[in-house]
Structures are given as C-alpha cells and as structure tokens.
Chain A
Amino acid sequence: MGEDYKQYEYDVIVIGAGGAGLRAAIEAARSGAKTAIITKSLLGKAHTVMAEGGCAAALQNADPRDDWKVHFHDTMKGSKWLANWRMAEFHAKEAPDRVRELEQWGAVFDRTTNNLINQRNFGGHTFPRLAHVGDATGLELIRTLQERGIHEGIDIFMEYTVRHLLKEGDRVTGCVAYTRVDGDFHAFSAKSVILATGGITRCWSVCSGSWEYTGDGHALALWAGAELRDMEFVQFHPTGMVWPPSVRGILVTEGVRGEGGRLTNSEGARFMFDYVPEMFASDHAETIEESDQWVEEVVSGKLATVRRPPELLTRDVVAKAINTEVKAGRGSPHGGAFLDISHRGKEAILKKLPSMHHQFKELAGVDISEEPMEVGPTAHYVMGGVLVNAETQETTIPGLFACGEVASGLHGANRLGGNSLSDLIVFGKRAGEFSANRSKDLAQPSIDDDQVQSAIKIMLEPFDNEGGENPGLIYDGMRDMMQAKVGIIRTKSELNDAIDDLKNFDDRRKACYPGSTRKYNSGWHQALDLKNMVDISYAATLAAITREESRGGHTRDDFPVPDDEYWGNTLNIIWMEEGEIKIRQEPIEEMREDLQKAINEVKSMIAERAAEAGGED
C-alpha cells in the first residue's frame, strides 16, 4: 500500500549545498562518516554564489593592528550585544584558518602587495578584514568547496527537496525528499542530519535572495520540535537596486562603500553624517574631509590614520537612514538614495567591482563609472534561526544539527557584512565534525514506513485541488503583504494584521492547484514551499510583535528606542507545539570574564584612535 519510495542509509546527511553545507559535508566525510548532500538545486548554484563583498577573518594581512579580539568585539557590538558570545569567540578565532584552508583548496583571493590574501573594509569592521575576489567572493567560496567536495567520496543528490525529518522518539533519524525532475519520493536513514538550508528572505517581495530562500530548514526544524531564536531580526541591506521594477532588490555590494562609495540624497547632501548613532560616534569621520582622507589612505594601501566614512556604519543604521530620507521627500527619482563610486575611476571600478559594473550596465542601463546608482533597502539576511549549541552546532533535538544562515546566535540583532561567509566555513566545519563524531556510537536507524507515507501524502495534497488558484499568485501576494506589514519599520497594528493575513494565505495555500504533473512542476514546488513560508513568516511576525523596542534589524515605530534594561538582555525563543507556534523569553548568559576583558581592551584602543584622529578636546 501507499506510494513507492527509494531508501538509503548514511551516517550524516547534509541538507543544502551552499557554503555551510559543503563545508560540513567535507568535514563529516573526512572524519570517516558515510556522507550525503541533498540539495534542491544543482551543485554550485546555491545562494552563496550571490555573496559579493567578502569573507571576514582577522588575517592581519592588510592591517597588523587587527586580531581575533577586535573581530570578536566588532561582531558583538554589531549584534547590539545579543550575539552568543561563545559562537562569536569561535568565529573570530577560527575564521583565519578556515580562509587559509580555502586558499589551499584552490581559492584565488585578491592579493596584497606582499603577495598575501588582501582584505577590504566593510561596515562595522574596525580594520580592513574581508578576504575577497573583486565583488564575487561567494562564487569563489562555493566553487572552491564544490571542487574540493566532489573528491571527498560524498554522495550528492541534486534537485532533491527535503520535506520532512524522520524521528524516532525525540531523535531525528533521517528525512524524506522528492525529486524535482520526476516527482519521485526518497527516504533517507541517517544517524545525524545537518540543516544547511540558508535563509527565509523570499518571504519579502523586495529581497536579494534566490528562489531557494523559502525557509525550508527553519520550517523542518520547527516542525520537528526544535527551537528557533531571534526570528524578529531580519537584515534589510541598505543597498539593493530600485529600478527598473523587475530587478528591485538585487544586491549592490557593501564593497561599493568599502571602496569609497558616497551616499547622497536628492539635494546632493552626504546625509549619513546626520545619522551616526551615539554608540558609533567615536569611530566614524565627522567631516567630508576626514572621510575622503580615509578613502585616500586605504585605497592606496596605507594604514588608515583617520576615521572611516559614515557610509560604513552597520547595515541596520544605513538602511534606516535611506528609508528616512526617502520618507522625508529627499529620495532619488525611483524612491532610493544615490550611491556614487564614479570618482574612483573606471579602471579601479572594473577591477574591484566588476560584477556591479556589469549588473547596472546590463539590467539598468547605468554606467556606474560615470553616474551614480539608485539604491534602497532590500531584505537580505535573517539573523534568526535554529538555536544551536555553540561548540557542536547541535539543535535542541538530538541528531539534528544546523549551520550557516539557518542556524542562529552568531549575529544577534544585526549581522556585519562579511561575517556570513566566515560563519559558513567556521560553523560548517564544526557541524560536520561533531555530527560525524556523534554518529560513531549509533546504530543505523530504521525507516518508519508510516512516517514516510504520511509525509508523501502531504506532499501530494495539492494535486487534489483541481480548479484551485495558481500557487504563484499566493506566493506573490504573501510576499507583498510581508513587505508592507513586517518590513523595515514595524508597528503593532500592522504586525497583528499580518498574523491574520497569514492565516488567510495558509487557507489559500491549502486549496491551490499546481496542475497535474509531478514532473519538474514549478507550481507544485511552489505550493509546497508556501507551507514553510507561511509558518516561518508567522514566527518572524510573532517575534516582532513581542519585542517592544527597536534594535538592529528590528525597528518598531511604536517603540523607537532600544530598551537596554530588559530587551537588551533577553531573547525570543520560538517553538511549535501540537501544530501551534509558541513564543517565550529567555535571558542571555553573562559574558565570560576574559572575553569581557578583551572587549574592554578593544574599546580603549578605539577610543585612543578616535582621540588621535579627531584631535578631540
């Protein structure tokens, strides 16, 4: 009885083949585990290819004053002190070795004049820290891991989409997938499962994410009983394309500002000077002259002696500033701000920002070496995700691990640019290593036919709805709603409306009809994705309603300032119980003493630099 499906047995199954998934699989295989990757796209196409600016690691090649403590401080400060400090510590200490390892696997990063890996400046990073390849660093990272990964004895299932995690008691023991090409079903027994599925930003209509960003791993974890944290924190990257409409949201790398790009409004004013928050006041330039001098120094390879331009404030700050300028009527013709890099000259732009030049030329008919770009905020990254153990990346459910964007903790309320690619390789490796070790003492779980059949039944439900709505329309409608009501600036009434709307979209989803074929049916894939998108949007909205303050990637119009007293030490935890998504608050753990000391050292160093640069009285 029931549908046919194929069965497989592995020690470690990695779901997702972006940077985190590939790095995890390589480590698991090298630790002796029989490993498979299941990816819903072709190999090498995952969202990681879209990362542009670079990979943050305190290599000390571009500026010897950098070290892990400064990186740790910058990450914690950028997170508005909500990050898991243990993760931030591992990340800052291990990122340099992970980057050097990529070089040995074939990555060809841009070079310093001393023939080492070059590093560029980025928002929130005190020193130039991002290893990069022009503005296509993600492509370099994924291709390197892909070319390493295919020689590690890993089985790779391409264009398979996982829809269900198998469980035995409390433990995750495998998963169920369908193939995109044929619509066949497959059940995998695994001693450990690693979620490396990326993010959720396709839930917003103006986003920089690929179609894959439908919250698959977030939802699989939630449905399996794991806990999520920080779901209210969504990073709106300040610079996405705004025109023409069909490209709205496509990313414009922060590298443009790292290379000296200037933000102006319709009156020609460098408005970012007016938006420097108190906590960042000492480490940013106060005048255009100081800012220009900084650019001059860093592009000529010197150590900066003055402070950085305010365009390099953290992403949450810049995004909100652009939003405010547009609302005040000082926006560009298509509702953004101007971003100008033309003063760097064509040669430098073609070397350092080649894909930005190409992208604007091809899609918008704009030559960025001669004229400014129009840019505005775009949903880019979710800081929230599956709650994991800092050391092992295991979730609150035994046998289930998570790494990369689907995991959470490293970025708190706001992620620094460049800390994502380093997150993938640092915690991808950890997840691979610990999941493989954990698998060693376990027997191969058996595949429970009842669970598989019930998962398959749910997958086939859309085909029963003949005459129903096209899933594409529900998908578009839901994304527009999230953009309007759970966007960059939020209020209680709109968030409450969003909760009602999501229930409505859930009903529409259940009745939609994708056509009759199971063979590469884009509508069917979308109908299934909608289930995760609704649940994860609900989780993000619920968390946003609960956090009555503004912090990092969560801004409440009705609670415009941070509440350091309570929310500055408190996290939202989300889980699912009997089909219902629930929320509770938990205090954050006090930082270890030696790390607190490290933070204080870096703070004094920054204060000294500010005094020297600004000639402060």
Chain B
Amino acid sequence: MSLKGRTQEFLITRGEGESSKLEEYSLELDEGMVVLDCVHRIQYEQEPDLSVRWNCKAGKCGSCSAEINGKPRLMCMTRMSDVVAETPEGKPIEIRPMKAFPHIKDLVTDVSWNYEIAKKIKPINGPDEKNWEFNQIEADRVQQFRECIECFLCVNTCHVLRDHALFDDFAGPRNLVRLAQYEMHPLDTEDRIPEIKKEFGIEYCNITRCCTEVCPAGIQITDDAIIQLKERVVDRYYDPLQRIWRTLTRQKVRY
C-alpha cells in the first residue's frame, strides 16, 4: 500500500498516570514509515514535549515498546502500511504506553521492576580455566534466550502481571528467560531451581503463551524456557523416585 500523501489521524496517550488522556493528532504520511517515525514527526512538528523512549530505531534495543491499536509492539518495527491496513477506514490509530507498568508520562512507563528482579538472579558460575569448550548444538539452546532485547512486551502481556499485578511473587517471562539461559548453559554449575520455584514463582505461569506471541525476537519463551524450567522444578520437588535417589546419594540433580 502506498502511504505517500495520505493524511492519517492518531490518538496518542498524553499526560501523567490517572490524569492522562488520548489526544488527537493528524499527520501526512510518507513511504515506508514505521509508527515511531510518526511519533517523532508529531514531536518535531507539533508537540516538542511529547515523551517517547527510544534508542536504536532498528529493533535491536527494545526501548520503544507501546500498545498500537491495543496490540503490544515495538514502534520502530511496526510498519505504518500494516497498521493502516488493520485500522478501519476513517478511524484513528491508537498509540498507548504499556499498561502493566507504572505510567510516567505520555508513552513512557517505569520498567525498573525488571532490573530489580534481574539483580536477584545468580550470575553464571563456570570453570576458572579459560577457553571453555562446548559445541554449537549446546550453544544454540542458550543463544535463543540471549536474543532477548529486553523490550518487556512479554511482561506487559503476561496476565499474572498485567491483570493480577503479582509483581512481588512472580519474576515475569523476561527474567524466566534469563534464568533458562543460565540453567541451560552447558558449563554453568549454579543451582537456581529452589528460587525458580519459590521467589520467582514459576508456578504462577499457566502457559497461555501470550508472552511468546508478542516477542519481537521470536523467542519460544513458553515452550523452550518456561516449560523446561517447570519440568526441572517438578523433577526436583515432586518426582518421588528422584527424591529418594537424591536422599540416598546426597547429590544435587544434574541435568
């Protein structure tokens, strides 16, 4: 679809917290624009103090997360041609901040909770000798998780957090992916299973896969990270044979 010359209406969240509301803007579009281009155009030409958090504008930093027509996406990787096509003719395109996080102003939210959880996760603990040896198949398993750009769209979408606000009891999909990345590292020897069960509350996830659907990096959050971790928790805490074996041998389970 050609966008050039088309005038498009937008509704964008303005203001702070409770007192914020949707304001209307109109903009002439150009070829190949993404949503973030439109927000910048409005900022540069109409509203200098319009708040928007962004960095790379190339889908690599995960800063410009927002809800576009109600769907959580990166503004820099969402093409206007797609958004215009999905918006009913004559209706404005809605851009709102992520709903699950405390609102700061306009399109910007406070995502610091994610960083606080990350700090509680034990870092990698591997051999002291340099030149670690492991093969590409072992690397592949972990590399998927390391493609996370920390846009926190998964956290924003997770109903445990978005609808039930269990921020004190559940680590959220992003940090479960981080835990999976360490737990599945071929040379890591740290044990994080007890806190994955208790402090990080993995059992709150009931596998609705909402996080996986919105992940712009295409990480199989539910199947490859969360379910794998759930299985390890089950093996440790609920498998009677494993429990007897561990008691007898006084061993930590190796995976």
A139-B60, A245-B30 are contacts. A181–B104 as well, Cβ < 8 Å? yes
| Residues in chain A near residue B108, CB distance under 8 A | 181, 520
**Identity of the chain B residue whose Cβ is nearest the Cβ of A147 in the assembled complex:** B123
Residues of B contacting A: mostly = loop
> Contact at A515–B49, with CB atoms within 8 Å?
yes
> Contact at A362–B49, with CB atoms within 8 Å?
no
A459 at interface (Cβ–Cβ under 8 A)?
no
Query: Contact mask B154-173 → A, CB, 8 Å, 1/0?
Result: 00000000000000000000
Q: A97-105, A288-296, A335-343, A592-600: which lies at the B interface?
A: A97-105
> Contact at B118–A147, with CB atoms within 8 Å?
yes
Give A515-561 interface residues, CB cut-off 8 Å to B.
515-517, 519-524, 526
Among candidates A110, A251, A519, residue contacting B58 with C-beta atoms closer than 8 Å:
A251
Cα A520 to Cα B104 in complex, Å, equals: 8
Query: Contact mask A201-231 → B, CB, 8 Å, 1/0?
Result: 0000000001110000000000000000000
> Contact at A359–B59, with CB atoms within 8 Å?
yes
Among candidates B30, B50, B142, residue contacting A108 with C-beta atoms closer than 8 Å:
B142
Q: A41-49, A170-178, A259-267: which lies at the B interface?
A: A41-49
| Residues in chain A near residue B124, CB distance under 8 A | 104-106, 147
B93 CB, nearest partner CB in chain A, Å: 16
| Residues in chain B near residue A515, CB distance under 8 A | 47-49
Among candidates A247, A359, A364, A520, residue contacting B51 with C-beta atoms closer than 8 Å:
A520
A204 CB, nearest partner CB in chain B, Å: 15
> Contact at A106–B182, with CB atoms within 8 Å?
yes
Cα A473 to Cα B139 in complex, Å, equals: 47
A486 CB, nearest partner CB in chain B, Å: 22
A49-B149, A133-B146 are contacts. A211–B32 as well, Cβ < 8 Å? no
A108-B146, A363-B34, A513-B48 are contacts. A358–B115 as well, Cβ < 8 Å? no
B134 at interface (Cβ–Cβ under 8 A)?
yes
Among candidates B16, B60, B77, B104, residue contacting A50 with C-beta atoms closer than 8 Å:
B60
A144 CB, nearest partner CB in chain B, Å: 9
> Contact at B52–A150, with CB atoms within 8 Å?
no
> Contact at B48–A106, with CB atoms within 8 Å?
no
> Contact at A41–B55, with CB atoms within 8 Å?
yes
A50-B60, A139-B147 are contacts. A522–B52 as well, Cβ < 8 Å? yes
Interface centre among A50, A101, A471, A472 (most CB of B within 10 A): A472
> Contact at A244–B185, with CB atoms within 8 Å?
no
A355 at interface (Cβ–Cβ under 8 A)?
yes
Cα A46 to Cα B149 in complex, Å, equals: 11
A325 CB, nearest partner CB in chain B, Å: 23
Cα A111 to Cα B136 in complex, Å, equals: 5
> Contact at A42–B60, with CB atoms within 8 Å?
no
Among candidates B30, B45, B130, B142, residue contacting A470 with C-beta atoms closer than 8 Å:
B45
> Contact at B45–A150, with CB atoms within 8 Å?
no
Among candidates A44, A103, A522, residue contacting B150 with C-beta atoms closer than 8 Å:
A44
B54 at interface (Cβ–Cβ under 8 A)?
yes
| Residues in chain A near residue B61, CB distance under 8 A | 41, 44-45, 49-50, 210
A514 at interface (Cβ–Cβ under 8 A)?
yes
Give B30-69 interface residues, CB cut-off 8 Å to A.
30-34, 37, 40, 43-45, 47-63
A100-B130, A108-B139, A519-B16 are contacts. A250–B58 as well, Cβ < 8 Å? yes
B38 CB, nearest partner CB in chain A, Å: 9
**Identity of the chain A residue whose Cβ is nearest the Cβ of B52 in the assembled complex:** A522
A472 CB, nearest partner CB in chain B, Å: 3
> Contact at A246–B37, with CB atoms within 8 Å?
yes
> Contact at B48–A364, with CB atoms within 8 Å?
no
A106-B123, A245-B30 are contacts. A470–B48 as well, Cβ < 8 Å? yes
| Residues in chain A near residue B142, CB distance under 8 A | 108
Interface centre among A106, A116, A151, A363 (most CB of B within 10 A): A106
| Residues in chain A near residue B31, CB distance under 8 A | 244-246
A402 CB, nearest partner CB in chain B, Å: 22
Cα A114 to Cα B136 in complex, Å, equals: 10
A472-B44, A514-B48, A522-B48 are contacts. A111–B123 as well, Cβ < 8 Å? no
A85 at interface (Cβ–Cβ under 8 A)?
no
Cα A514 to Cα B119 in complex, Å, equals: 36
A250-B57, A515-B49 are contacts. A143–B34 as well, Cβ < 8 Å? no
A116-B133, A245-B31, A355-B60 are contacts. A104–B55 as well, Cβ < 8 Å? no
Cα A244 to Cα B119 in complex, Å, equals: 40
> Contact at B131–A246, with CB atoms within 8 Å?
no
| Residues in chain A near residue B143, CB distance under 8 A | 108, 110, 133-134
B167 CB, nearest partner CB in chain A, Å: 18
| Residues in chain A near residue B112, CB distance under 8 A | 158
> Contact at A514–B49, with CB atoms within 8 Å?
yes
A380 CB, nearest partner CB in chain B, Å: 13
| Residues in chain A near residue B45, CB distance under 8 A | 470, 472-473
> Contact at B136–A43, with CB atoms within 8 Å?
no
B70 at interface (Cβ–Cβ under 8 A)?
no
B109 CB, nearest partner CB in chain A, Å: 10
> Contact at A363–B77, with CB atoms within 8 Å?
yes
A476 at interface (Cβ–Cβ under 8 A)?
yes
Interface centre among A136, A181, A246 (most CB of B within 10 A): A246
B213 CB, nearest partner CB in chain A, Å: 16
Cα A411 to Cα B110 in complex, Å, equals: 39
B218 CB, nearest partner CB in chain A, Å: 8
> Contact at A110–B139, with CB atoms within 8 Å?
yes
Cα A42 to Cα B56 in complex, Å, equals: 12
Give A349-369 interface residues, CB cut-off 8 Å to B.
355, 358-359, 362-364
| Residues in chain B near residue A344, CB distance under 8 A | none
B159 CB, nearest partner CB in chain A, Å: 24
| Residues in chain A near residue B62, CB distance under 8 A | 45
Among candidates B63, B111, B149, residue contacting A139 with C-beta atoms closer than 8 Å:
B149
Among candidates B48, B104, B123, B178, residue contacting A151 with C-beta atoms closer than 8 Å:
B123
Cα A138 to Cα B58 in complex, Å, equals: 13
Cα A459 to Cα B44 in complex, Å, equals: 20
A110-B136, A136-B60, A250-B58 are contacts. A104–B126 as well, Cβ < 8 Å? yes
B243 at interface (Cβ–Cβ under 8 A)?
no
Among candidates B56, B77, B115, B148, residue contacting A43 with C-beta atoms closer than 8 Å:
B115
A86 at interface (Cβ–Cβ under 8 A)?
no
Cα A251 to Cα B61 in complex, Å, equals: 14
A243 at interface (Cβ–Cβ under 8 A)?
yes
Give A234-252 interface residues, CB cut-off 8 Å to B.
243-247, 250-251
B94 at interface (Cβ–Cβ under 8 A)?
no
**Identity of the chain A residue whose Cβ is nearest the Cβ of B136 in the assembled complex:** A111
6 contacts across the A-B interface (CB closer than 8 A): A41-B55, A111-B136, A359-B59, A515-B48, A521-B48, A521-B49
The 8 closest A-B pairs by CB, nearest first: A244-B32, A523-B48, A472-B44, A515-B49, A520-B51, A106-B124, A115-B133, A521-B49
Known: A106-B181, A364-B32, A524-B49. 12 other contacts (CB 8 A): A41-B63, A42-B111, A49-B60, A97-B130, A104-B128, A110-B136, A111-B134, A139-B60, A147-B178, A363-B32, A472-B40, A473-B45
